[in-house]
Amino acid sequence: MTNSEISLSVDVLVIGWGKGGKTLAAALAGTGQKVAMIEQFESMHGGTCINIGCVPTKTLVHDAQERREDDDAASCWARAVQRRDTLIGTLRDVNHHMLADLGTVTLVDGRARFVGERTVEVSGGEDRLTVTAPTVVVNTGAVPSRPDLPGIDSPRVHDSTSLQHVDPFPRRLAVVGAGPIGLEFASMFAGFGAEVTVLNRRPRLLPAEDEEVAAEVQSVLEGDGITVLHEADLRGVEDGAEEALLRLEVAGRSRELAADAVLLATGRRPATDDLGLEAAGIDVDERGAIVVDEHLRTSAHGVYALGDVHGGAQQTYLSLDDHRIVLSQLTGDGSRSTSDRVAVPTTTFLTPPLAAVGLTESEAREQGRDVLVATQKVAAIKAMPRPKTLGDPRGLVKIVVDAGTDEIVGARLFHVDAQEVINLIALAMRAGTTATQLRDGIWTHPSSTEALNETLEKLAPVE
């Protein structure tokens, strides 16, 4: 962007280079439409997932699993970070060229702010560029939530982005928050050799899960040396010469905890600050999320919102599906909507991974369903040798089945390869494949999928 560029008119304006936004931009450019992609930071070309989210963190998770007990923690961490950075640099370049090489796409680096209906001003240094389009897509994602507490700006306090380059490697890590991000980082840093303490505000881990699933997760974490403090609230951080001192309230009692580094994993909020949404007539909810309908249309005509910025589950693959919905609006019959989403799986990348889809046993019973349930510890599943060959037979498999239709209504997989097997179960749920068909399926050997053969034989009524 230069001083001579004062205005630009395109067919489609995309603000934010996330999964949904970049895929939609490429698809529309492929039809000959003129597209402008605005991204605030060059380092974020490609979006959160490949730069600071899914891909870099799972790269570190993998390398933590490769560390041997007698390996030096700091050296392993440094090598892992270097590998992470090399991979992400390559992927960012690929994503940059995904749009830069298209003749009808204009890339603009700078901060976008609405100044009117379907009109934004982009600032970069002293430069200003006004961009207008009949169709605007907001895809700015989410940012870490940071509690307002004494000492929270200590250099030893990190979010999930800065902790990926923490130096020196922390011998003691305190993780504030026990959601997916907090637990993933706790498991990862424990794998690298850190002493990890997780501060969980709730009475138990994973309150949305059945108790036996949560208990198994806690058992595995504690087996890896992770300490979990329940009903723990952070009250402040005191930054010392050699360590950070956390002031806590644990189950109603004051307590202190020393750490070399602190991770704030207290959630992420939609990135809508200072976007000037009011100038465009775009409504937001009480959390700052852009309000959309089932077709991802905002309250402003011609403006859509994709991904984390409109609230709800923060998953890259949902952002990808968002692009399909908007593409259906812009180039198709407009029939696709968020209501089409059925049996959407999730995975928390602990070691081993925890994957879920559909209802828990508790939720199914609360709905008055007549269900059959099968639960097995992975170590006891004779027909599932894959985890044993990898030296990690921990975890469990739990599947909930509708007794009347024989269809799976939910599953919780906590084992090696769970992130892959859950996709098969999710597909079965969407396609109406029965539990009996999965039980009698012919699966490759040795594989984690084989757990379905044995576990589904043990379906029994809920007492």
Burial, 390: exposed, middle or buried (Cβ in 10 Å; 0-12, 13-18, 19+)?
middle
Per the structure block, which two tokens stand in for 334? 């407009």
Backbone φ and ψ for 284, nearest 5 degrees, come out as -125, 160
Residue tagged 């040798």 (tokens): 385
- Report how far residue 256's alpha carbon sits from residue 151's, in angstroms, rounded to the nearest whole number: 14
Per the structure block, which two tokens stand in for 64? 């933590």
Contact residues for 374 (Cβ-Cβ < 8 A; gap 6+): 397, 398, 399, 401, 455, 456, 457, 458, 459, 460
- Report how far residue 408's alpha carbon sits from residue 429's, in angstroms, rounded to the nearest whole number: 6
Quick one: DSSP state of residue 9?
E
DSSP string, 185-247: HHHHHHHHT-EEEEE-SSSSS-TTS-HHHHHHHHHHHHHTT-EEESSEEEEEEEE-SS-EEEE
Strands 195-199 and 172-176: parallel
Residues 410 and 447 sit within 8 Å (Cβ to Cβ): no
DSSP string, 336-370: --GGG--S--EEE--SS-EEEEE--HHHHHHTT--
Q: ω into residue 168 within 30 of 0, thus cis?
A: yes
Return the biggest CA–CA distance within the chain: 74
Q: Which residues are catalytic?
A: 445
Residue tagged 């890339």 (tokens): 107
Chain-centre distance of CA 27, in angstroms? 24
- Report how far residue 204's alpha carbon sits from residue 209's, in angstroms, rounded to the nearest whole number: 10
H or E stretch at 121: strand 119-124
* Beta-bridge partner residues of 175: 198, 263
Cα atoms in the Cβ-side hemisphere of radius 13 Å centred on 149: 19
Which among 326, 171, 155 has a CA at the least distance from the CA of 258? 171
